Structure 1
């Protein structure tokens, strides 16, 4: 990431212990850039931050129908809690998808048994497997040349309003496509409550089921539950957040750390008046921003943009 800005620091008793550099962009509900930090036009891999957009693309294409909890799971990176496992089992049954047909690797579930249904990306994989079958295509929905790849790429390109020609392979075994930070922000704002069609449907599902998105105490679940925003992190330091009014922030840290994404995005949204003043301060404890010495607070992760 050649053109980055300092986004956040971690201080302890006045000493700066760590710095997070990266890029960040804030867009108005009409798509105009309000502020930017670093190069927001360079394509990157948003990884799991794309999941809600993939779910909306499949819905918009008419390949699947998803009840709200299943739309949330298709957008999630969950913690393999019992709620997540139960929802995955029900979602797969509703769509006639066999667990063995999924590409995501098996991991330990709540009872210690390794299952694909316990994988954090299982909702996305169930949706992809069901969509591939609806297309009458082969079951290897993860393949580079599968017809579903073109559907996902074109849907994301349309939502981001930018061309996408490349792809890469995500950690869960599915494909992932590059966007620019500003393109991702413009796509993510479609999930706002005043959005339309499939994107609003997915955004509403995320807002209704925060514990399915990231675990009951996960940062995404905290932000959704406390602010009414729809948000999704992605591996290697991506965070996308759309406020209830449609103002949207995207953050990508250069070091791949997750911890700076939500605070920086919330700071941008708060400064723009899209969320109430004091929101970030009120979420400092649940988001793990406070630095301690035993039980005494001695520092903080602080956005500097």
Structure 2
């Protein structure tokens, strides 16, 4: 990211302890850019922020049928809470997917065992495995040559309004598609309550099941529960967030840290009038933005855009 802007700072007793630089974009419900900070038309890897768009693509192509909780898990990056593992088991059973056929590696489940169902990306992988079987090629859904890759790429092309310029390998073993921040914002806007088809279904599922998206008390769940926005973080500092009226923000932190994404997105949405004034202040404590000394507030992670 050769050109970035200062997005947020962490202050403590008058000192700026840390700075988060990156890019950020805000679009209105019609897809027009309201704010642009940094090179928002330069491709990047949104990582797991693409998951809701993948789930919507599979639904719209008729390759999977998902109940809302399973659509939420397909969009999630969870932390292997009991709720997540149980939902993964139920989703796999509903789609007739065997756990050992999944590409995502095993992680520790709440009972201490190593399970693929405990991996944070398991919902996406279950959906991919079911879709691959529907395409007649059940093996190797993570390969670039697999027909599922073309389906997903076409779905991202259509949702962003841009051609995917390149493909990379995600941490979970699946593929990830490069997008631009503004393209991602236009795609994520489709998840709003006035969206259509699979995108609206997935957005509604995210709003209905916030703790499946991230986990109870974790940032995405806090924002969804506290604002009605559908939001998703991606590894290495991506945050995409669509307000109930369709105004959409995308943030990419250059340092890869997650913590600035949600507050910067909320600040932009609040400034645009898409969420109530004072929302960021109200959520500052649960989001961990308040800096403390022996329990006493002494500073804040504060957006500067």
Match of residue 112 from structure 2: 112
Residue 292 of structure 1 deviates from its aligned partner by 0.5
**Partner secondary structure for residue 94 of structure 2:** helix
1:142-153 equivalence runs, <5 A: 142-153=142-153
Structure 1 equivalent of residue 131 of structure 2: 131
Structure 1 residue runs of 4 or more that deviate by more than 3 Å after TM superposition: none
SS in structure 1 opposite 2:103?
coil
- Measured against aligned partners, the alpha-carbon deviations of 1:128-149 in whole angstroms (never above 9, x if no partner) come to 0000000101411001211100
**1:3 Cα deviation from its structure 2 partner:** 1.3
Post-superposition CA distance 1:31-61 (Å, at most 9, x none): 0000110000000000000000000000011
Are residues 1:82 and 2:86 paired?
Answer: no
Residue 290 (str. 1) matches residue 290 (str. 2)? yes
1:25 partner SS: strand
Partner of 1:47: 47
For this pair of structures, how many residues does the alignment match? 305
Q: Tell me the residue number matched to 1:213.
A: 213
Structure 1 residue 257 displacement after superposition: 0.3
Deviation string, structure 1 residues 67-100 (Cα, Å, up to 9, x no partner):
0000000000001000000000000000000000
Q: Cα deviation per residue 1:188-209 (whole Å; 9 max; x = unaligned)?
A: 0000000011100000000000
| In 2: Cα distance, 1:105 partner to 1:163 partner | 30
Instruction: Give the Cα separation in 2 of the matches to 1:233 and 1:36.
Output: 19
> TM-score, normalising length from structure 2?
0.99
| Paired residue secondary structure (1:142) | coil
SS in structure 2 of the partner of residue 177 of structure 1: strand
1:101 & 1:69 partners in 2: Cα distance?
22
Deviations 1:203-257 (A, max 9, x none): 0000000000000111000000010000000000000000000000000000000
Is the counterpart of residue 245 in structure 1 residue 245 in structure 2? Answer: yes
Q: CA RMSD in A?
A: 0.5
1:96 and 2:72 matched: no
- Separation in structure 1 between the aligned mates of residue 135 and residue 145 of structure 2, nearest angstrom: 14
Give 1:165 shift.
Answer: 3.6
Q: How does 1:113-262 map to 2 (within 5 A)?
A: 113-262=113-262
Unaligned runs of 5+ in 1: none
